[in-house]
Amino acid sequence: MTFLKTAAAAAVMVLAAQAAQAGTTFDVVKARGKVICGVSTGVSGFSAPDSQGKWAGIDVDVCRSIAAAMFGDASKFDVVPLTPVQRFTALQSGEIDVLTRNTTLSLQRDTALGFNAVAVNFYDGQGFMVPVKLNVKSAKELNGATVCVQPGTTTELNLADYFRTNNMQFKPVVIEKQDEIVAAYVAGRCDVLTTDRSQLASVRVTQTPKPEDHVLLPEVISKEPLGPMVRHGDDQWMDLVRWSLFAMIEGEEYGVTSKNVDEQLKSNDPNVKRILGVTPGMGKALGVDEKWAYNIIKQVGNYGESFERNVGKDSPLKLDRGPNAQWNKGGLLYAWPIR
Amino acid sequence: MTNAPEITGETDIAPPVSSTGIVAWMRERLFSSPLNIIMTVLCGLLVIATLPPFIEWALIKAVWISPTADACRAARGGACWAFIAEKHRLILFGLYPYDEQWRPLLAALVNIALIVASCMRRFWNIRLLYIWGIGLVLISWLMWGGVLGLSYVENTKWGGLPLTLILATFGVGFAFPFGIVLALGRRSNMPAIKTLCIMYIELIRGVPLISLLFMSSVMLPLFFPEGFSIDKLLRAQIAIIMFAAAYIAEVVRGGLQAIPKGQYEAADALGLSYWKKTGLIILPQALKIVIPPMVSLFIAMFKDTSLVVIIGIFDLMNATKASLTDTAWKGFAVESYIFVSIIYFVFCFSMSKYSQQLEARLATGHKR
Q: Does B239 touch chain A (CB under 8 A)?
A: no
Say how many domains are in chain B.
Answer: 2
pLDDT band, very low/low/confident/very high, at A254 (cuts 50, 70, 90): very high
Is residue B9 domain-resident?
A: no
pLDDT of A279 higher than 70 = yes
Residues B50 and B188 in one domain: no
- Which CATH number covers residue B183? 1.10.3720.10
pLDDT of A22 higher than 90 = no
pLDDT, tens only, A88-140: 888 888 889 999 988 889 888 888 888 999 999 999 889 899 999 888 888 88
pLDDT band, very low/low/confident/very high, at A248 (cuts 50, 70, 90): very high
Residues B147 and B182 in one domain: yes
Q: Does B221 touch chain A (CB under 8 A)?
A: yes
pLDDT of A17 higher than 50 = no
Residues B184 and B230 in one domain: yes
Residue-number span of the structural domain to which B124 is assigned = 86-362
**Between residues 56 and 75 of chain B, which touch chain A (CB distance below 8 Å)?**
69
What's the mean pLDDT when you consider all of chain A?
86
Interchain CB distance below 8 Å, B327 and A177? no
pLDDT, tens only, B175-216: 999 999 999 999 888 899 999 999 999 999 999 888 888 888
Is residue B234 domain-resident?
A: yes
CA dist., res. B315 & res. B308, Å (int): 7
- Look at residue A20 in the predicted model and tell me its pLDDT: 41
Is residue B6 domain-resident?
A: no
Rounded mean pLDDT of A12-21? 44
ipTM comes to 0.72
- Look at residue A23 in the predicted model and tell me its pLDDT: 47
Tell me which of A214-223, B29-38, B98-107, B147-156 is least confident: B147-156
Residues B23 and B119 in one domain: no
Residues B236 and B335 in one domain: yes
- Look at residue B1 in the predicted model and tell me its pLDDT: 46
pLDDT, tens only, B137-150: 888 888 888 777 78
- Look at residue B73 in the predicted model and tell me its pLDDT: 74
pLDDT of A272 higher than 60 = yes
B151 compared with A297, residue with greater pLDDT:
A297
Residues B22 and B115 in one domain: no
Residues B127 and B51 in one domain: no
Residues B51 and B113 in one domain: no
Residues B149 and B238 in one domain: yes
What's the mean pLDDT when you consider all of chain B?
84
| Bridge-based pairing state of the strands A115-117 and A98-99 | unpaired
pLDDT band, very low/low/confident/very high, at B77 (cuts 50, 70, 90): confident
- Look at residue A18 in the predicted model and tell me its pLDDT: 40
Closest CA to B92 of B80, B79, B105, B110: B105
- Look at residue A10 in the predicted model and tell me its pLDDT: 52
Of A15, A54, A82, the CB nearest to B312: A82
Residues B274 and B151 in one domain: yes
Is residue B299 domain-resident?
A: yes
pLDDT, tens only, A137-163: 888 889 999 999 988 677 888 899 999
- Chain-centroid distance of CA B291 in Å reads 14
pLDDT, tens only, B229-239: 677 888 888 88
Is residue B284 domain-resident?
A: yes
- Look at residue B229 in the predicted model and tell me its pLDDT: 65
Residues B159 and B101 in one domain: yes
Of B222, B324, B325, the CB nearest to A92: B222
Is residue B5 domain-resident?
A: no
pLDDT, tens only, B349-360: 998 888 888 888
CA dist., res. A193 & res. A182, Å (int): 8
Tell me which of A56-65, B26-35, B164-173 is least confident: B26-35
- Look at residue A2 in the predicted model and tell me its pLDDT: 52
**DSSP track, B276-292:** HIIIIIIHHHHHHHTHH
pLDDT, tens only, B264-322: 899 889 988 888 888 888 888 888 888 888 888 999 888 888 888 878 788 888 888 88
Interchain CB distance below 8 Å, A93 and B224? yes
In order of their start, the domains of chain A are: 2-123+226-315 (3.40.190.10), 126-222 (3.40.190.10)
Closest CA to B209 of B297, B293, B304: B304
Q: Give B128 to chain A, closest Cα distance, Å.
A: 36
Q: Does A313 touch chain B (CB under 8 A)?
A: no
Is residue B74 domain-resident?
A: no
Residues B93 and B216 in one domain: yes
Is residue B78 domain-resident?
A: no
